[in-house]
Amino acid sequence: MTTYFVTRHPGAREWAETNGVQVDRVVEHFDVRAIQPGDVVIGSLPVNLAWQVCMRGGRYFHLSLEIPQEWRGKELTKEQMDAFGATIEEYVVRRAEP
C-alpha cells in the first residue's frame, strides 16, 4: 500500500508535515494508473480522478478548505491553511449511471 499526497503547493506540504500526515510519495502531477487496491490518495483532485482512484480500489482523502473568494488562486502558507480550516476528509466517489 502506498500513500500519495498530490500537491504542487509548498504550503500544503508544510501543513501536512506539521499535522502529522504520513505519506510515501508527494507528487505534483498524478497518474491514476499507478493506483493499486489499498493505495491512499490525498489531495484536491477533480471528481473524475477521485472516482478513478475509487474504481481502482484506492481510497481518496480530500484536502478541504474554506477559502474566501479574494484568496483563491494564491499560494497559501500552512498558517493560512489552518486559518481557512484545512482538513483531510475521506470520500467514496461513484459515477451515476445514465
**Dist. CA 47–CA 42, nearest whole Å:** 13
| Position 73 pLDDT exceeds 90 | no
| Position 17 pLDDT exceeds 90 | yes
Q: Do 25 and 4 touch, CB atoms closer than 8 A?
A: yes
Domain of 43?
1-69+92-98
Query: pLDDT by residue (tens digit) across 28-55?
Result: 999 999 999 999 999 999 999 999 999 9
Note whether residue 74 is domain-resident.
no
Percent of the chain predicted with pLDDT > 90: 91
Question: What is the pLDDT at residue 27?
Answer: 95
Specify the number of domains making up the chain.
1
How far does CA 27 lie from the centroid of its chain? Answer: 10
C-alpha cell at 58: 484506492
**Dist. CA 97–CA 11, nearest whole Å:** 38
Note whether residue 48 is domain-resident.
yes
| Position 98 pLDDT exceeds 90 | no
**Contacts of 36 by beta carbon, 8 Å cutoff, 6+ apart:** 1, 2, 56, 57, 58
Question: What is the pLDDT at residue 38?
Answer: 97
